[in-house]
Amino acid sequence: MSDYTLKTMMNKPERLAPGHRMCAGCGATIAVRAVLRGLHENDHAVIGNATGCLEVSSFMYPYTSWEDSYIHNAFENAGATLSGVETAYHALKKRGKLKEDVNYKFITFGGDGGTYDIGFQSLSGAMERNHDMVYVCYDNGAYMNTGIQRSSATPMYADTTTTPVGTQSVGKMQNRKDLANIIADHDVPYVAQTTFTQNFIDIHKKSEKAIYTEGAAFLNIMAPCPRGWRYETAEIMDVCKMAVETCYWPLFEVDHGNWILNYEPKKKLPIEDFLKSQGRFKHLFKPGNEHLIEEFQAEVDRRWEDLLYKCSK
Amino acid sequence: MAIKDRMSGNEAVAYAIRQVNPDVMPAFPITPSTEIPQMVSTYIANGEMDTEFIPVESEHSSMSATIGAEAAGARSLTATSSAGLALMWEELLLASSNRLPLVLTLVNRTLSGPININCDHSDGMGARDTGWIQIYAENNQEAYDNFIQAYPIAEDKRVHLPVMICQDGFITSHAVENIELLEDEKVKEFVGEYEPEEFLLNPGNPIAVGPYSISNYAMEAKKNQEIAMENSKEVIIEVAEKYRELSGRGFSLFEEYRTEDADYIMLIMGSAAGTAKQAVDDLREQGKKVGVLKLRVFRPFPAKEIAEALKNCKAVAIMDRCESYNGNGGPLGGEVTSALFRFKVMIEAVNYIYGLAGRDFTVSDVCGIFEELEDMIVNGTEIEQFQYIRLR
């Protein structure tokens, strides 16, 4: 890792070919490419994918963007499907049908719909059974593929198409589920939360570690969606930076039960700095809604304190 | 030399699984199929087979993982019953549309509600349009024989479809009967090695499975799947023939029991065929010209062959161990009458619903049905064309 530079990394052969149909500026493909750069060049991979934007846009018959073997099965079962693939690998190796020196790694991608919600059971089962695989959630905080409906990953007060802001509504009424925490409680070998930061070193280190840690690993990657969040597409890096600097999306990892905070802002910025560039939170800045921002801030603070406590042990 | 033993249907299938020794088996317990994964786990624990077993957290996941393993290039299977099959429904369609030759051993049990653990065919019939080959067994022997034939049918290049091997819950799965088993080596030789053409774990030849397909391509994919189902008929017959040479047992698409000169035939599937045959033997002693057509292969549906087999009788009793809730009859009732019409076999055909959720079905019930058919033909008595047997 000492020789990491973004330039060297970007010179690695791409494992997700261009020409797919994802939106310009989509966070999901940025996440996928960053994760796949964590694979060592000589290693093979089988990529799994839950139904969602990424799947319908990257593998449209007869074209595929995936350089590695790839399987999409359905929406709610990416964890179980890759469990089967990974087990097949062990079975075929054991029976001499795959050469000893051939290495495969198993990585599956799902959005927050396929991961936090409909695929939660399948994910939990795969993690508990400790398959040697990485489950990567590209979390854009709503069901974007079907048109920006709320998920359990949607933050409170976000304006979505099933929690629309109106005269009787200020957006989603519930807090988001903390999935990295929940998967860490499965006692899997490795869990990490990350997003796109300067140089992409955090996501790179965590991807490589997740892929090369034996047993189950889970990566939760905040991957903004310009359509759903309604920010200027070119500003994705600023949006991610503010998520980290406000401690809305802290960077941490849980390595064999050891909680590690990867970044602590020198000065924690107010949550408005994250919210204000996004159209989904526009209503929070209307006069009379100050208390909503205060409540949002209080929840961010509560979770941050909880994380600091876990990491100080 | 065949091995003579006594086994339940579940034991027989687990024994066959041990002999085939597939690569991967994900499974989740559900009555009455639970014993199968239990017995396989015990075989593995004792080193009698080395299949990788995945104790998944649901049946949806068991079929999902089976699909993943099979797509990866591993010979795979799972087992289930009733609600477990219903939960898999979405995945059954993916197994067949992805043309994966995996196997599911189904122990037939009714679907809820009311929740009930006993036998009928509503689980298998509910999956009748999912693109799976379905083969039904009368007894433990047939469950064993059918399982051994499953992979040679599924993996044939003309087919490439998943196969469901069905036996009746409790009646077959738990009752212990005599059985003849083949030697391990003979089974291994018959089933052969799995050599997939395209699979995920093929270094240097990556593939992508499960695409989004626009309308320009999707309809042809579905037609190709239908062609494979049509092709499977000849493969099922070939494999049955080969198995008959090996074991001296078995039927192809169906068994015709004393039907040559029969005026009245009962068309039935599963364990109740044994009951029907006993009744036929009794009635033949009284000089009645009756017979049984026991359907073995429900998918593909042998419409032409059934019409041919029934064309010389006067009336057929079509026996459904399943309700379709369409106000018009059971699944076999619909499909058999449609086959008769298509091939212009204009005989009387009465659809009976029997044995739902484990309701008894006896020799006297069969005799009563034959009596009713005869009364209809001989005396011109009008009878209900769709009716329940033993309804309280």
pLDDT in tens, chain B (392 residues): 689 999 999 999 999 999 999 999 999 999 999 999 999 999 999 999 999 999 999 999 999 999 999 999 999 999 999 999 999 999 999 999 999 999 999 999 999 999 999 999 999 999 999 999 999 999 999 999 999 999 999 999 999 999 999 999 999 999 999 999 999 999 999 999 999 999 999 999 999 999 999 999 999 999 999 999 999 999 999 999 999 999 999 999 999 999 999 999 999 999 999 999 999 999 999 999 999 999 999 999 999 999 999 999 999 999 999 999 999 999 999 999 999 999 999 999 999 999 999 999 999 999 999 999 999 999 999 999 999 999 99
Q: How far apart are CA A222 and CA A226, in angstroms?
A: 13
Residues 6+ apart with CB under 8 A from A154: A141, A142, A160, A163, A172, A176
Enumerate residues 108 to 167 of chain A having a beta carbon within 8 A of any beta carbon in chain B: 121-122, 124-125, 128-129
Q: List chain A domain ranges.
A: 13-312
The architecture CATH gives domain A13-312: 3-Layer(aba) Sandwich (3.40)
What three-state secondary structure class fits A148? coil
Cβ–Cβ under 8 Å, residues B145 and B116 = no
Interface test with chain A among B57, B70, B198, by most A beta carbons within 10 Å? B57
Residues 6+ apart with CB under 8 A from A29: A16, A20, A22, A54, A58
Does the model's ipTM exceed the 0.95 cut?
yes
Enumerate residues 46 to 105 of chain A having a beta carbon within 8 A of any beta carbon in chain B: 46, 48, 55-56, 59-62, 64, 66-74, 76-77, 79-85, 87-92, 94-95, 97-99, 102, 104
Total Cβ atoms within 10 A of residue B6: 10
* Terminal-to-terminal C-alpha distance of chain A: 26
Of B58, B68, B74, Cβ closest to residue A121: B58
Question: Could you say which DSSP state residue A177 is in?
Answer: P
Q: How far apart are CA B105 and CA B113, in angstroms?
A: 23
Q: How far apart are CA A288 and CA B1, in angstroms?
A: 88
Query: In one letter, which amino acid is B109?
Result: R
User: Is the Cα torsion angle B378, B381, B385, B389 positive or negative in sign?
Assistant: negative
B10 — phi, psi (to 5°)? Answer: -65, -45
Enumerate residues 254 to 283 of chain A having a beta carbon within 8 A of any beta carbon in chain B: none
A308 touches B at CB < 8 Å: no
Cβ–Cβ under 8 Å, residues A57 and A72 = no
A196 — phi, psi (to 5°)? Answer: -90, 115
Please give the domain boundaries of chain B with CATH numbers for all domains. Answer: 3-196+212-247 (3.40.50.970), 254-388 (3.40.50.920)
Q: How far apart are CA A133 and CA A213, in angstroms?
A: 9
Partner-chain contact B73 A88, CB within 8 Å: yes
Partner-chain contact A59 B208, CB within 8 Å: yes
